[in-house]
Structure 1
């Protein structure tokens, strides 16, 4: 009886080898499989939007587009067809539009598309990429996540400092902080900030200025910033420890209405988000 587990393991291994010999997984086969992601449900629960990513081996590239299907699995259709990829779909509160990000201009911006047809409309036009966003429940504002130089009072300053850094012929780095790189991504002296964008007036405000990442650079989630149900408050996660490279102390903060200062509502030393 003691040899039974080993015997079963040998059978499984033999079957696996036999199957592998007759049906080898090829490189091209692996990349021919479409990848589905970021499913979101419409406010009435009847529709699901999601992304489909396809690989192009000959061009060494990927293309991501947004698709729509009803909850029964019927009426599948592709929403975006632009040569630029589209991602991060979000339904408008009334369920009539899909907001999404796409780099159809010089940078990734927020766009919206009427579910009944028509061309996509550009919603934001800010310097640099919009990395993530949330739509307010009243549909009037967006929360934008962007990586920007710290202590920039306005959009003109963000553009000026970013371009000066990009055009500087000196590419050497002076490193005085342990968190100078996250995995394979150089921070380049920029910080993740949250911006409040008013759709109708196209005004924008940095809600988390200064040399702090909000939302956090590590141990984050898709729920690191959001609006309250009445659209009057904003909650976000951030790590204010001095050495974030050795810290997991992310905390939750709240911004009330037009308040300039966020207050902390979580106090545990662990990762709160």
Structure 2
């Protein structure tokens, strides 16, 4: 059978499977499968149920809907999930013996993140409420038509890339009693609460929230225990960092947390913490372990994965969790004494995890550069693994995906830099190929051994793709991830250029006369910086980029603190420094043909960053083009409109074809 390389439009054919949840008896699991409606250019997500042996996999929900957040009742007889089938996300329930799904909530602004009580009689969930609203207000209540009114802004944090301009609503917690349908509101006020878990006796819940006097400036997040009966709060953390994912041990003696104390601001490694409930003591279990807890792999295919936090074993002596290291994410076991052991750590991206607390058998989602992602059954005690889902096998039968070969090289100051190189489709020994350098966003993220649709479409077009983790990236320790702060365009730029030089000198198939560079967000900043400081690249594509730190400070939803954290300067006291690190300050030096891609509703790196760059280049009559994506925020490449995601990749490919051949 003759195979072909993948194209951008193949995104319509690929399915993703994620968020596995095991049944109480460990014999079955639920997962979410997402596909794209090619006619409507919309995502549909449905519930599937499979046995852990992989012999029976069946679809349980259908239609043009987005179903998610599925979980089993403690007795295994019902499945709770969220669905937008009524128009907005509400809680629904299915009987495992069959029948139609029953809608449980009719909250005015929807319901999210449902969590069963230990006895299965109540459900904790999140909803949004304005100060004058009550959790029992129904979605059917139509608001009166309102005349246009000016928006009055008094807080520095007034917009968000995720939701746009913020209104007066906050995220609150409520409890639904299944027998009566009664809903009790647990929290109120001008704060956003995130649900944790129920205590084993069902009398308390864990939650996270910032209750400081000035949350817009404090930028911390604390974990609390709340008494369900009295609403009394007990604080576990010290308002000196960012903490979340509080999970209770089965015996109620401990709560495991993930977080950090902001020692390096946003570049601080997340750690595992243990709270002793009886002693009211919080201890960091991984203080001496130089790794990032959780999955921080970056890609353009998997989106909306649930962070499982620490998953306790039934004996309350330990737990399993995800960690990121050296371009991989894996599963580790940790004990309450602080011992850590690898349970599943290979050259791959583990993006989902569910563990049977009694048998230590797990369902994991795994992706590699040549495997978009499937669910596997794993015995975490011995590593035995078996693939259960095969959602893309039939389609990929006729596709040849490029492998990613790991590379490591030395920066001029002796630091080890790690990355990968991918050969083009139809590779022929002795032939030279145009080569594209990819730079990830963040910068505190990590390229990994995972599927990347953009990379595969470029290799299919005949390009070599080089992607690395320069300093500032996660996966290589605290010193490495912190090294970029205050030095954007410094040694991080040297790392990117050293990667380019290494590829040219090491691989005879790299055509040094046809080099391109691209990246998004911080990667867009680095693309702008590179072409304003060297002419080695013959084509470049900057995506959702930063070009001017001075304006970014005031227009980005995070600019007022991110600039201070990352650039170690602000608009008021460090104007000269911000301008010095702004690529647009060197726009007169840009000779490389530059394609500028940006979302119209990107509030993280607002489109004015692209507008400034484009106009400055056009006024110099430099080769450039500006593509604006309507109704698109910073997540365009990962979870944006499917058609626009495809258009984006085709614009990237087309630009490189025009200027690199």
The two structures have a TM-score, normalised by structure 2, of 0.35
Change (3 A) 1:163 1:242: farther
Matching residue of 1:14? none
Equivalent positions of 1:31-180 (< 5 A) are 31-150=12-131, 152=133, 155-156=136-137, 163=143, 167-180=145-158
Q: CA deviation at 1:177?
A: 0.8
What is the DSSP-based 3-state SS (H/G/I as helix, E as strand, rest coil) of the residue aligned with 1:38? strand
Q: CA–CA distance in 2 between the matches of 1:183 and 1:245?
A: 16
Change (3 A) 1:154 1:33: closer
Q: CA deviation at 1:116?
A: 2.1
CA contact (8 A) 2:174 2:183 kept: yes
Does residue 203 of structure 1 match 2:182?
yes
Q: CA–CA distance in 2 between the matches of 1:229 and 1:159?
A: 36
CA contact (8 A) 1:151 1:210 kept: no
Deviates more, 1:106-115 or 1:206-215: 106-115
Q: CA deviation at 1:56?
A: 1.5
Q: CA deviation at 1:159?
A: 8.4
Residue correspondences, number: 241
CA contact (8 A) 2:107 2:135 kept: no
The two structures have a TM-score, normalised by structure 1, of 0.80
Does residue 234 of structure 1 match 2:205?
yes
CA RMSD of superposed structures (Å):
2.3
Q: Could you tell me which of 238, 244, 257 is aligned with 1:267? A: 238
CA contact (8 A) 1:148 1:158 kept: no
Q: CA deviation at 1:129?
A: 0.8
Q: CA–CA distance in 2 between the matches of 1:254 and 1:145?
A: 16
Matching residue of 2:172? 193
Q: CA–CA distance in 1 between the matches of 2:206 and 2:157?
A: 25
Matching residue of 2:229? 258
What is the DSSP-based 3-state SS (H/G/I as helix, E as strand, rest coil) of the residue aligned with 2:99? coil
Q: CA deviation at 1:137?
A: 1.0
Q: CA deviation at 1:246?
A: 4.0
Q: Deviations over 1:68-108 (max 9, x none)?
A: 11111110000112332321111010011111111222432
Q: CA deviation at 1:52?
A: 0.4
Q: CA deviation at 1:55?
A: 0.7
Q: CA–CA distance in 1 between the matches of 2:185 and 2:160?
A: 23
Structure ID, larger Rg:
2
CA contact (8 A) 2:224 2:236 kept: yes
- Structure 2 alignment gaps of length 5 or more: 245-661
Change (3 A) 1:154 1:193: closer
What is the DSSP-based 3-state SS (H/G/I as helix, E as strand, rest coil) of the residue aligned with 1:28? helix
Q: Deviations over 1:154-181 (max 9, x none)?
A: 6349987x935xx322253111112211
Matching residue of 2:549? none
Q: CA deviation at 1:151?
A: 5.0
Q: CA deviation at 1:268?
A: 4.9
Equivalent positions of 1:19-38 (< 5 A) are 23-38=4-19
- Structure 1 alignment gaps of length 5 or more: 1-21, 216-223
Does residue 182 of structure 1 match 2:160?
yes
